Amino acid sequence: MILDTAMKLFVSEGFANVSTRKIGEKIEFSPTLIYFYFKSKEEILYTLYLEGFEKLFERLEETKRIPNPLKRLEEAIRVSVDFSIEQPEYLYLMLSIRPDSHIHTSDFKWDQSLRVKEFFGKITKQAADEGFIDSKDLELLNLTSWAYNHGISSLYTMSRNNDFPYALTKDVLHQSVKFYIKLLTKKKESKKKD
Protein backbone atom coordinates (compact mmCIF):
# COMPACT_ATOMS: atom_id res chain seq x y z
CA MET A 1 0.00 0.00 0.00
CA ILE A 2 2.83 2.42 0.83
CA LEU A 3 4.69 1.66 -2.41
CA ASP A 4 1.63 1.85 -4.67
CA THR A 5 0.58 5.18 -3.17
CA ALA A 6 4.10 6.59 -3.29
CA MET A 7 4.48 5.58 -6.95
CA LYS A 8 1.26 7.33 -7.91
CA LEU A 9 2.27 10.47 -6.03
CA PHE A 10 5.86 10.52 -7.36
CA VAL A 11 4.55 10.21 -10.93
CA SER A 12 1.66 12.67 -10.64
CA GLU A 13 3.20 15.32 -8.37
CA GLY A 14 6.94 14.86 -8.83
CA PHE A 15 9.38 13.37 -6.35
CA ALA A 16 10.41 16.75 -4.91
CA ASN A 17 6.77 17.63 -4.15
CA VAL A 18 5.98 14.47 -2.19
CA SER A 19 6.80 14.02 1.46
CA THR A 20 6.57 10.97 3.64
CA ARG A 21 3.79 12.78 5.49
CA LYS A 22 1.85 13.23 2.22
CA ILE A 23 2.17 9.51 1.45
CA GLY A 24 0.94 8.71 4.95
CA GLU A 25 -2.04 11.06 4.66
CA LYS A 26 -3.18 9.35 1.45
CA ILE A 27 -3.25 5.91 3.09
CA GLU A 28 -4.13 7.10 6.59
CA PHE A 29 -0.79 6.03 8.08
CA SER A 30 1.23 8.17 10.43
CA PRO A 31 4.70 9.18 9.18
CA THR A 32 6.08 7.17 12.12
CA LEU A 33 4.49 4.01 10.77
CA ILE A 34 5.94 4.66 7.31
CA TYR A 35 9.37 5.21 8.89
CA PHE A 36 9.00 1.79 10.50
CA TYR A 37 9.12 0.32 6.98
CA PHE A 38 11.28 2.88 5.15
CA LYS A 39 13.99 5.24 6.44
CA SER A 40 13.13 7.97 3.92
CA LYS A 41 11.18 8.78 0.79
CA GLU A 42 14.45 8.17 -1.09
CA GLU A 43 14.40 4.58 0.15
CA ILE A 44 10.79 4.26 -1.03
CA LEU A 45 11.80 5.55 -4.47
CA TYR A 46 14.81 3.24 -4.57
CA THR A 47 12.64 0.24 -3.63
CA LEU A 48 10.26 1.07 -6.48
CA TYR A 49 13.23 1.57 -8.83
CA LEU A 50 14.61 -1.89 -7.99
CA GLU A 51 11.14 -3.46 -8.15
CA GLY A 52 10.61 -2.04 -11.64
CA PHE A 53 13.92 -3.35 -12.94
CA GLU A 54 13.29 -6.78 -11.41
CA LYS A 55 9.93 -6.94 -13.19
CA LEU A 56 11.63 -5.98 -16.47
CA PHE A 57 14.43 -8.51 -15.99
CA GLU A 58 11.96 -11.31 -15.29
CA ARG A 59 10.55 -10.65 -18.76
CA LEU A 60 13.93 -10.23 -20.43
CA GLU A 61 15.16 -13.53 -19.00
CA GLU A 62 12.43 -15.30 -20.97
CA THR A 63 14.12 -14.20 -24.22
CA LYS A 64 17.14 -16.40 -23.43
CA ARG A 65 15.19 -19.37 -24.78
CA ILE A 66 15.49 -17.91 -28.33
CA PRO A 67 18.61 -19.45 -29.92
CA ASN A 68 19.05 -16.93 -32.76
CA PRO A 69 20.71 -13.87 -31.14
CA LEU A 70 19.31 -11.41 -33.69
CA LYS A 71 15.77 -12.64 -33.06
CA ARG A 72 16.53 -12.60 -29.31
CA LEU A 73 17.68 -8.96 -29.57
CA GLU A 74 14.49 -8.04 -31.41
CA GLU A 75 12.35 -9.86 -28.85
CA ALA A 76 14.25 -8.31 -25.91
CA ILE A 77 13.65 -4.81 -27.29
CA ARG A 78 10.00 -5.67 -27.93
CA VAL A 79 9.70 -6.98 -24.34
CA SER A 80 11.13 -3.67 -23.08
CA VAL A 81 8.68 -1.71 -25.23
CA ASP A 82 5.76 -3.82 -23.99
CA PHE A 83 6.93 -3.23 -20.41
CA SER A 84 6.84 0.52 -21.02
CA ILE A 85 3.28 0.22 -22.36
CA GLU A 86 2.05 -2.01 -19.56
CA GLN A 87 4.01 -0.45 -16.67
CA PRO A 88 4.41 3.26 -17.55
CA GLU A 89 4.64 4.36 -13.92
CA TYR A 90 7.51 1.99 -13.22
CA LEU A 91 9.24 3.05 -16.42
CA TYR A 92 8.95 6.70 -15.45
CA LEU A 93 10.45 6.01 -12.01
CA MET A 94 13.17 3.81 -13.50
CA LEU A 95 14.34 6.28 -16.12
CA SER A 96 13.29 9.75 -15.07
CA ILE A 97 13.37 10.36 -11.32
CA ARG A 98 16.39 10.62 -9.07
CA PRO A 99 16.58 12.35 -5.70
CA ASP A 100 18.10 15.82 -5.72
CA SER A 101 21.87 15.65 -5.88
CA HIS A 102 22.25 17.38 -2.52
CA ILE A 103 20.52 14.48 -0.76
CA HIS A 104 22.94 11.87 0.57
CA THR A 105 22.08 8.70 -1.35
CA SER A 106 25.32 6.71 -1.17
CA ASP A 107 23.35 3.75 0.20
CA PHE A 108 21.57 3.47 -3.14
CA LYS A 109 23.09 2.44 -6.46
CA TRP A 110 21.15 3.92 -9.35
CA ASP A 111 22.86 1.62 -11.85
CA GLN A 112 20.22 -0.92 -12.81
CA SER A 113 19.94 0.50 -16.30
CA LEU A 114 23.55 -0.61 -16.80
CA ARG A 115 22.31 -4.17 -16.25
CA VAL A 116 20.02 -3.63 -19.22
CA LYS A 117 22.99 -2.40 -21.27
CA GLU A 118 24.99 -5.47 -20.23
CA PHE A 119 22.09 -7.79 -21.08
CA PHE A 120 21.81 -6.29 -24.58
CA GLY A 121 25.60 -6.26 -24.92
CA LYS A 122 25.81 -10.02 -24.49
CA ILE A 123 23.16 -10.56 -27.16
CA THR A 124 24.82 -8.08 -29.52
CA LYS A 125 28.21 -9.74 -29.11
CA GLN A 126 26.76 -13.17 -29.78
CA ALA A 127 24.98 -11.84 -32.89
CA ALA A 128 28.27 -10.39 -34.16
CA ASP A 129 30.24 -13.53 -33.27
CA GLU A 130 27.75 -15.66 -35.19
CA GLY A 131 27.80 -13.35 -38.24
CA PHE A 132 24.28 -11.94 -37.95
CA ILE A 133 25.50 -8.36 -37.69
CA ASP A 134 28.65 -6.65 -38.88
CA SER A 135 30.21 -4.27 -36.41
CA LYS A 136 33.78 -3.25 -35.94
CA ASP A 137 32.85 -1.48 -32.71
CA LEU A 138 30.62 -3.67 -30.59
CA GLU A 139 30.69 -1.26 -27.64
CA LEU A 140 29.34 1.53 -29.86
CA LEU A 141 26.71 -0.79 -31.32
CA ASN A 142 25.71 -1.92 -27.83
CA LEU A 143 25.46 1.70 -26.68
CA THR A 144 23.28 2.44 -29.72
CA SER A 145 20.98 -0.53 -28.99
CA TRP A 146 20.74 0.51 -25.34
CA ALA A 147 19.96 4.09 -26.33
CA TYR A 148 17.36 2.95 -28.87
CA ASN A 149 15.73 0.74 -26.25
CA HIS A 150 15.57 3.56 -23.67
CA GLY A 151 14.62 6.12 -26.28
CA ILE A 152 11.68 4.25 -27.78
CA SER A 153 10.37 3.43 -24.32
CA SER A 154 10.72 7.05 -23.19
CA LEU A 155 8.99 8.30 -26.34
CA TYR A 156 6.05 6.07 -25.58
CA THR A 157 5.87 7.47 -22.05
CA MET A 158 5.95 11.03 -23.43
CA SER A 159 3.33 10.16 -26.08
CA ARG A 160 0.80 9.58 -23.33
CA ASN A 161 0.61 13.37 -22.95
CA ASN A 162 -2.03 15.02 -25.10
CA ASP A 163 0.41 17.52 -26.60
CA PHE A 164 2.78 14.89 -28.04
CA PRO A 165 2.80 15.14 -31.86
CA TYR A 166 2.73 11.39 -32.66
CA ALA A 167 0.34 8.56 -31.88
CA LEU A 168 2.63 5.79 -30.70
CA THR A 169 0.59 2.63 -30.58
CA LYS A 170 1.94 -0.79 -29.67
CA ASP A 171 1.85 -1.74 -33.36
CA VAL A 172 3.85 1.33 -34.39
CA LEU A 173 6.42 0.65 -31.68
CA HIS A 174 6.77 -2.99 -32.75
CA GLN A 175 7.22 -1.88 -36.38
CA SER A 176 9.96 0.47 -35.22
CA VAL A 177 11.73 -2.41 -33.45
CA LYS A 178 11.61 -4.52 -36.64
CA PHE A 179 12.99 -1.58 -38.64
CA TYR A 180 15.83 -1.09 -36.16
CA ILE A 181 16.80 -4.76 -36.39
CA LYS A 182 16.77 -4.49 -40.21
CA LEU A 183 19.15 -1.54 -39.96
CA LEU A 184 21.56 -3.70 -37.97
CA THR A 185 21.56 -6.45 -40.58
CA LYS A 186 21.47 -4.33 -43.73
CA LYS A 187 25.25 -4.06 -44.14
CA LYS A 188 25.68 -7.80 -43.84
CA GLU A 189 23.02 -8.47 -46.48
CA SER A 190 24.49 -5.92 -48.91
CA LYS A 191 27.97 -7.43 -48.47
CA LYS A 192 26.61 -10.85 -49.44
CA LYS A 193 25.30 -9.38 -52.72
CA ASP A 194 28.74 -7.98 -53.67
- CATH number where 187 lies: 1.10.357
How confident is the model over 23-34, as a mean pLDDT? Answer: 91
Confidence grade of residue 28 (pLDDT, cut at 50, 70, 90): very high
Predicted pLDDT at 96: 75
135, pLDDT greater than 90: no
H/E element, 160: none
Output DSSP code: residue 162: T
Residue 125 belongs to some domain of the structure? yes
102, pLDDT greater than 70: no
Predicted pLDDT at 107: 66
Residue 145 belongs to some domain of the structure? yes
Task: Please report the beta strands in the chain, taking only residues with DSSP state E, as ranges in sequence order.
Answer: none
Confidence grade of residue 166 (pLDDT, cut at 50, 70, 90): confident
Residue 6 belongs to some domain of the structure? no
- Indicate the number of domains in the chain: 1
Asked if 2 contacts 44 with a C-beta cutoff of 8 angstroms, the reply is: yes
Residues 107 and 112: their CA atoms lie apart, in Å, by 14
Residue 35 belongs to some domain of the structure? no
Q: Each residue of 46-58: b (16+ CB within 10 Å) or e? A: bbbbeebbeebee
Q: How many CB atoms lie within 10 A of CB 120?
A: 24
Predicted pLDDT at 190: 46
How confident is the model over 73-86, as a mean pLDDT? Answer: 93
On average, the pLDDT of the chain sits at 85
97, pLDDT greater than 60: yes
74, pLDDT greater than 50: yes
Range of the domain at 142: 59-193
Residue 21 belongs to some domain of the structure? no
Residue 110 belongs to some domain of the structure? yes
Predicted pLDDT at 62: 96
- Can you give the pTM of this predicted structure? 0.83
Residue 4 belongs to some domain of the structure? no
How confident is the model over 126-132, as a mean pLDDT? Answer: 91
Residue 105 belongs to some domain of the structure? yes
104, pLDDT greater than 80: no
100, pLDDT greater than 60: no
The angle that helices 112-129 and 138-159 make with each other, rounded to 10 degrees, is 130
